Amino acid sequence: NFEAFYKNTPIKVKATLNMIKDPSIVLDVDVAEANISDFSIGGRTYNMKDGKFSSKIILNSKDSSEESFVNNLNGSIDFKASDTKLSGVNIKGIYKDIVKREKSEGLVEFANTQIVSGSTAFENVAGKINITEGEFKITEGSLSAENINVTAKGGGNIKNWTMDVSFEIKHDEPRY
């Protein structure tokens, strides 16, 4: 067991490494109220900025090779973030365009430009991911902002780095 600090954020880790017979590893990681801006969460296009996040990660796997580790990875990841901004998608921009649009012509093209640019502020982001034998499933996923609720469902394969995730966006009805 140890506690490390990254930019003043305590990260608590319990680790068990078994090197006898069948090498394996068990990790239990806690991060609480970390500043998102101190971490790199996401990639170049889609990422989170600002706010705070907490996470509980429990992983276990065989540890004889990288391939064995990935193929036999099991565990869970619980996370939550508050007052954050998701870069790479402008949900409010798409919504504003839809409510004023008189024709559907050009909607797909406009929405595509808003999916890879802009950002959306969220009050709360939370989720739970279960991992079984190197495949993950989002069992809970939600993002909420003023007048917007987004749910995420799906899963993927860590070894092949593929995923199939769908998002359902619900926005309050416009008031005219």
Alpha carbon distances (Å) from 134 to 25, 129, 161:
14, 12, 10
Helix 91-100 and helix 107-115, axial crossing angle in degrees, nearest 10: 160
pLDDT at position 65, please? 87
**Band of residue 59 on the pLDDT scale cut at 50, 70, 90:** very high
- pLDDT at residue 174 in the model: 61
φ/ψ of residue 24, rounded to 5: -150, 165
The residues, any chain, with a CB within 8 Å of residue 92's CB and separated by 6 or more, are 120, 148
Answer yes or no: is pLDDT of 176 > 80.
Answer: no
pTM of the predicted protein model:
0.85
Q: What is the mean pLDDT of the chain?
A: 90
